Every structure is written in structure tokens, then in C-alpha cells.
Amino acid sequence: MTDLALAKATASPARRFSPALPGIGLLLVVAYGILPLVANEYLFDAILTPFLALALAGLGLNILTGYAGQVSLGSSAFMAVGAYAAYNLALRLPGVPFMIDILLAGVVAAAVGLLFGLPSLRLRGFYLAVSTLAAQFFVQWVFNKVGWFSNNSPSGIVSVPTLSVVGITLDSSAGRYLFALTVVTAVTLAVWRLVESPTGRALVALRDHETAARVIGIPVLRVKLLAFAVSSFIIGVAGVLWAFAYLRTVEPAGFNLDRSFQILFIVIIGGLASLRGAFLGAALIVVFPLLLARLGEALLGGLFDSGVLEMSQRIVLGLLIVTFLITEPAGLTALLDRAWNRIAGRFRRTGLPITG
Amino acid sequence: MEWQFFTEVLVGGLLSGVMYSLVAIGFVLIYKTSGVLNFAQGALLLFAALTFVSLTERGLPVWAAILLTLAAMTGIGAMIERAVLRPLVNQPPITLFMATLGVSYVVEGAAQLLWGTQVHGLDLGIDDLPLEIGGVLVSSFDLFAAAVAGAMVAALTLFFRYTRIGLGFRAVADDQLAALAVGLSLDRIWTAVWTAAGMVALVAGLLWGARLGVQFSLSLVVLKALPVLVLGGFDSIAGAIVGGLIVGAVEKLAEVYVGPFVGGGIEGWIAYVAALGFLLIRPSGLFGAKLVERV
């Protein structure tokens, strides 16, 4: 077993799906300008806000797994660290603005990530993947057992304080959505800069061939730890959004192994080593259970109870993973790229101008 | 007295470790011959136990239930091999692992969709009585499980040493290209391996099911088997046994001697931390093949 040669899955096509800047501008206009006007509470609370939090977590894991090639099965542990850190910062340092709390929570998650990233200096592949499970179980146990983190709440579940930024209270569904959107946008732009920078290239070099990367002078150990730290920072911030903007409570059980797998699935389905991938994957993961529930109800009616629903969700999710791995290892990103190229190609043939 | 208590905890731990080894052996069989870390082993175990219990509850005699379950496991194993792993031949190992993660979701979902989600009791007719051996109390069920595990390892060893297909397994594990060159059929051997893993899953599923009750959480024993594999090395049956014993002993001893100081419940992660500490010294486990990397 050599390095995680995910190269095939991640070879990025020469032409991107959309001309980057106008596309992003358009998305932001829709997300900031149009959605808050047309969306209702259900759309915000059940779809958009969890989508944003999970997309951010996927983005964080993608840095580690997609770009740097280190598989982690413990992502939700770092979400938990971020969420509990932000809760405690808000509780114990009441004067500090929440934006600072978020950053600090990310830093705490990064520190924990660094600690659990240390084995990666010695371990590869499966052995590393299994060792990240240590983070998953240990962190969950700590938040269950140590009462201080949940302010001695007997159940370990705590409600978080209301979001407020520069004196504006963001209590409504739309407010929490806009808050999450702003954080996700800022982090995504920063990550975009990172992956296009020499450091980002170093991550990819590390993934494609560790020894070769070392030979051309990349400080492999430092870059690996950096990947763990940056990834955990982002996943930690995603955890803050999950707890503060989406659920409005923090509980250890919400950050279990299933959540970690879910984030991994987002990255696989969306596309490894692609920023869009995290968003596309998260969209699918959030929307498909809802669609499945509607569909099942329409087709089977009363037979389709919650137990059947849960099981069929598991089956469909598993089938999706397997199907994507077999037929489209580069994920939804590649599917969209291909579709776009086909459309663009048709325009070219008919002589219409192409933008971008 | 203190020493006797220690021995009791240790023996209890070693015996429960045997149960972990049972699960780990299923992983090793597949990893050895096809290089796939099969995360779905836990789901297979759940499927086997659930199928067996549901069939007996519907009035089937035990032997018929075992035969039918075995047939079902063979079918599922062969299907996974054919539909999922064969299209993924030559993909990086981690891709194969993620595919088996997907498979585990499908198998878990299917098992419960088919047989329902309620908890079933499973009585194998073996009493769980405390026996006193040399002044140390031992559970008779644990002893039975250890005997079954021992018999299974013995059977597997004989199988690998003396049967045609077993020798084929070893040839494929040793060198796939060379095995192909001497005319072994990789397809047939891989199908046979998955069948064997299905059988191991049935045995482990019955023992674990009798212990915990047959329910969804049964598939989580896979998480107990992973540190065992890490300790013993992914490709060694002996490693799976020794690793299981170590993990079992460490877990019980830590729970009794360390647990009270930190609030208990540490058996969920102590095995991982122990395995991790061990890995830092020996990165491919006790008996695992050393990685040789070609540049």
C-alpha cells in the first residue's frame, strides 16, 4: 500500500464547471439577496442552515482527505470540540464578542486536531484511519463524563445562548441562516486562497507521493500536521454553526460516529479535492432523506413508517456511496463538469458566444 | 485475595478478548487474500444473527435455520464480491474500504428492513454460570465461546494447510500475479473467501447475539475488532487472536483499576488508545507484514 493515491479520483479537469468569479458572485447574490426574501422557516431550519454547517465540515475534511490524502473517521469529534469550546467561551468570557469566540473555538479544535494528528507522522492508510477513531470515542467520552464542559448539566445537553453579532440579535431562522452563510463564505474564500497557494500544492504533493514530495523539499511532517490543524479548525467552526445556528443545543450524542461517516460521505459523493464538492455533497446528504420520506409516503402510504424510512435511508445512502465510488469516483463535481462541458460544447458548435 | 481478584479480572478480560478475536478473524480472512479492510463485517454479523433468530422464532428447527442462514450469508458474500469489489479492482485500498462502509449501511438497513428492529433474545442452550477453576471464578459461557474460537482457528489452520482451495487462498495472499500464472482462478477464490467470511460472521454473530441480544448494536462490535486488528496486524490470524486477548485484558483491567478514578465508561476508547500507543512503536502491528514501499 503506497500513499493514498487518490489521484485518479481527483484529477481536476482542465475546464471548470463555471467561470469562477461570476458564478460565485451569482451564488452569493441568490444566497444573500433572494433566498432570505423567498424562503420560509422550514426551508431555513430544516435545509439551508444544516446544509451550510455540513458543507463547511465537508470542506474541512476535504482539506485533510481530499487534498492531503489522510483519511479521518473522527470528524464529528472536532465538531464537538468546536461546539463545546464556543459554548464555554460564551459562558465564561461574557464580554468577548461572539465572532472572536468562533475563531477561538476553531483554534481549540485545531489544537486537539494537531494532537490526534500526531500518529499520522508514523502511520499510513488503514492504521491511520483506525487511529482517528480514537479521537472520535475519546472526545465523545470526555464531553459525557466531564461535567465542567457542559456547565454540570446532568444530561450533558446544554442550550446555547442566542446568537448576537455587534449588538444585533440573530434569533430568527433567517438571521441564523445569514450568520451561518457569512461564516461559511468567509471560510470558503480563505480555503480557496489556501489551496491555490504553494501550501495547497504541498498538500497535494504529499497526497500524491509522500516520498517524492520529501525529495523535492516539501517539509512533509510539518505539512501533514498543518493539514490536520487547518482541517480541524474548519470542522470546529462547522461544529459551532451546527450547535449555535442550527440545533441551538449542544449534546455529545449529536456528534457520534454516524455524523463522522456522514461528513466522509459528503466528501466522497461531492468529490474529493474540490471546494464545490463539499457543497454539492452536503446538499445531496441533507435533501435526499427529505425527498425519500416524501416519496415513500406517496408510494407506500401508511406502510412507510419511521422505522422503514430510517432503514431505507441507510440502504439508499449506502447504495449511493457504492455507486459513486464505482461509476464516478470524482463525485458530483465531475458529473457537473461533464454536463457543463457538453452544454458549452454544443454552444460552441452552433457558434453562440461562450462566456468565461 | 487481591491477587485472586486481579486474576479473575484478567481471565475474564482474556475470555472476552476471544470474542473480539472471533470478529477480527473475519476481517483478516478478507484482508489477507484481497487487501480489503471489510468494514461491513459487523453488518454481516448482524445480518447472520438476525436471520438465524428470526428463522428459529418462526418455528424452524435449529439445523435448518443454520443451513438457511449460511446459504444467505454465502449469497450476500458472493454478491458483495461480484457487484462491489470486482468493479473496483486496482483501486486504492482506501477506496475499497469506503465502498465496504457503504456496503455496511446497505446490509444493516436490509437486515432490519427484512426482520424488523426489535431486540431478539438468542438462547444457544449454554448457561452462563460462574464456574470455580483453581479458586478463580470464570463464566461458563465465556469458556464455551473460547472453545468455539479455538475450534474455528484449528479448522481454519487445517483448511489453509491441507485443502486445495485453502492452499489457493494462501497463494493468492502471497502473490496474486504468481497465483494467476499457475492457473488459479482469482474470481473463484475471492468468492470462496467471502463465503468463508460469511461463515465466520455467522459463528461470531451467534455468540455475540447470545451475549448482547440480537439488535442493531451488534454491528458495532466491528468497532471493537478494529483495535484488535491494529494491534495484531491486519493480515495475521495469530495476530487477531493475540490482539484480541490483549485488548480484552487491557479493557477489563483498565475498567477495574483505572475506571473508578475517571468516572468509568472508558472501555469505549481505552483499546484504541492502547492500540495507538502500540502502533507508535510498531507501525504495522505485532504480526503484520512490514510495508515495503517502492518509489
Q: What are the pLDDT digits (tens) for B28-49?
A: 888 888 878 889 999 999 999 9
Q: Does B269 touch chain A (CB under 8 A)?
A: yes
Q: Mean pLDDT throughout B73-98?
A: 86
CB contact under 8 A, B102 and A212: no
Query: Which of A309, A308, A316, A206 has the alpha carbon at shortest distance from A265?
Result: A316
A126 part of a folded domain: yes
Q: For A113, phi and psi rounded to 5 degrees?
A: -60, -40
Q: Quick one: pLDDT band at residue A2, thresholds 50, 70, 90?
A: very low
A330 part of a folded domain: no
Q: A199 is in which domain, residue-wise? A: 19-255
Q: How many domains does the structure of chain A reveal?
A: 1
- pLDDT of res. A351: 54
Cα distance between the two ends of chain A: 41
Flag whether pLDDT at A15 surpasses 70: no
- pLDDT of res. B11: 86
With CA atoms as reference, the chain B residue closest to A138 would be B269
Q: Does B229 touch chain A (CB under 8 A)?
A: yes
A314 part of a folded domain: no
Percent of chain A with pLDDT over 70: 91
Kindly state the helix (H) or strand (E) to which residue A249 belongs, with its residue range: strand A249-250
SS3 category, A239: helix
Flag whether pLDDT at A4 surpasses 60: no
C-alpha cell belonging to residue B275:
492500540
C-alpha cell belonging to residue B160:
489453509
Mean pLDDT estimate for chain A: 84
Q: Which residues of A touch B283 (CB under 8 A)?
A: 122-124, 127
A214 part of a folded domain: yes
Highest mean pLDDT among A152-166, A233-247, B186-200, B241-255: A233-247
Flag whether pLDDT at B292 surpasses 70: no
Q: How far is B127 from chain A (nearest CA, A)?
A: 33
SS3 category, B132: strand
State pLDDT tens for residues A235-244.
999 999 999 9
With CA atoms as reference, the chain B residue closest to A5 would be B92
ipTM of this predicted complex? 0.85
CB contact under 8 A, A322 and B106: yes
Q: Which residues of A touch B94 (CB under 8 A)?
A: 4, 6, 71, 125-126, 129
Q: For A150, phi and psi rounded to 5 degrees?
A: -105, 25
SS3 category, B262: helix
Which residues lie below 8 Å from residue B73, measured CB to CB, with a gap of 6+? B44, B47, B48, B195, B198, B199, B201, B202
Q: How far is A28 from chain B (nearest CA, A)?
A: 33
Taking CA atoms, A54 is separated from A1, A135, A286, in Å, by: 31, 19, 8
Q: Mean pLDDT throughout B161-173?
A: 85
| Range A145-154, long-range pairs (CB < 8 A, 24+ positions) | A145/B262, A145/B263, A145/B264, A145/B265, A146/B263, A149/A84, A149/A87, A149/A88, A150/A84, A150/A87, A150/A250, A151/A87, A151/A88, A151/A91
With CA atoms as reference, the chain B residue closest to A130 would be B226
Q: Quick one: pLDDT band at residue A11, thresholds 50, 70, 90?
A: very low
Is A311 within 8 Å of A259 (Cβ atoms)?
A: no
Percent of chain B with pLDDT over 90: 13
Whole-model pTM: value is 0.87
Q: Which residues of B touch A314 (CB under 8 A)?
A: 105-106, 108-109
Q: How far apart are CA A240 and CA A237, in angstroms?
A: 5
B2, burial (CB in 10 Å: exposed 0-12, middle 13-18, buried 19+): exposed
More confident residue, B126 or A214: A214
Query: Which of B267, B270, B261, B263 has the alpha carbon at shortest distance from A143?
Result: B263
Q: Which residues of A touch B108 (CB under 8 A)?
A: 314
- pLDDT of res. A87: 92
Q: Quick one: pLDDT band at residue B295, thresholds 50, 70, 90?
A: very low
C-alpha cell belonging to residue B274:
492502547
A175 part of a folded domain: yes
Q: Mean pLDDT throughout A130-143?
A: 88
A353 part of a folded domain: no
A140 part of a folded domain: yes
CB contact under 8 A, A2 and B293: yes
A92 part of a folded domain: yes
Q: How far is A191 from chain B (nearest CA, A)?
A: 25
- pLDDT of res. A158: 81
- pLDDT of res. A187: 95
- pLDDT of res. A170: 75
- pLDDT of res. B219: 82
